[in-house]
A = this chain, B = another copy of it.
Amino acid sequence: MNKGLLLVLSGPSGVGKGTVCSVLRKKLPELVYSVSATTRAPRQGEVNGVNYFFKSREQFEDMIARDALLEHAEYVGNYYGTPREFVERTIAEGKDIILEIEVQGALKVKEKFPEGVFIFLLPPSLDELKQRITGRGTESQDIINHRMSVAVEEMNLIQHYDYAVVNDEIDLTCKRIESIIIAEHCRKDRFLEELSHLNAATIEKA
């Protein structure tokens, strides 16, 4: 059986990663979504193993020590991370798994999982990104300018990714990501091992 792919979907904040993921979820129901581990308390209705793997601080730090996370970070006093085992089990079963993550986290995942497919979501233009960043609230110009410069810095990290997908129209964006999944399954390297079996079988028959 062919192994599945780990798809890492990232991009500057405000580019629409979450929206793309929620539409992909409907369009590609066979795609598995990576579930994060966290030390924050479950909110009403959140289910362990579905929304998050809920862990105590001690359990989480034990996972860090055992290198059981592909990446982790601390926000507002809580840990968040990507459990390696869930990803590895899914792809071993031949299923593709997608991980939505911010740009720095994606680069950490790449260190531990370079065979992943790294997709960078791009705004149609920087003006469009600026609109999305500005349009969120009533922040001061300083805050908006800061967010914008962070976004430009994040965009420069595209060089570490495999693909750049412009998020201009949601259906097109999803079609591009679906195409990347299909094309990656056709990459020659994934077939070479299978082909060697095929040839061995023929040589026996000849």
Interface residues of A, Cβ cutoff 8 Å to B? 119-120, 122, 125-126, 145, 148-149, 152, 155-156, 158-159, 161-165, 175-176, 178-184, 186-188, 190-192, 195, 198-199, 201-202, 206
- How many copies of this chain does one complex carry? 2
Residues of chain B contacted by A186 (CB below 8 angstroms): 119, 163-165, 176, 179-180
Residues of chain B contacted by A125 (CB below 8 angstroms): 198
Contacting pair B202 A188 (CB below 8 A): no
Question: What is the predominant secondary structure among interface residues of chain A facing chain B?
Answer: helix
Contacting pair A120 B158 (CB below 8 A): no
A199 to B175, CA, bound (A): 27
Contacting pair A199 B156 (CB below 8 A): yes
Contacting pair B158 A201 (CB below 8 A): no
A162 to B201, CA, bound (A): 24
Beyond the given pairs A159-B192, A183-B183, 15 more chain A to chain B contacts, judged by CB atoms under 8 angstroms and listed by A's residue number, are: A122-B191, A122-B195, A126-B198, A148-B202, A148-B206, A155-B199, A156-B199, A158-B195, A164-B191, A164-B195, A176-B183, A178-B179, A180-B182, A182-B183, A183-B184
Residues of chain B contacted by A159 (CB below 8 angstroms): 188, 192
A161 to B187, CA, bound (A): 9
A145 to B178, CA, bound (A): 40
Interchain nearest-CB distance for A6 vs B (Å): 16
A155 to B191, CA, bound (A): 11
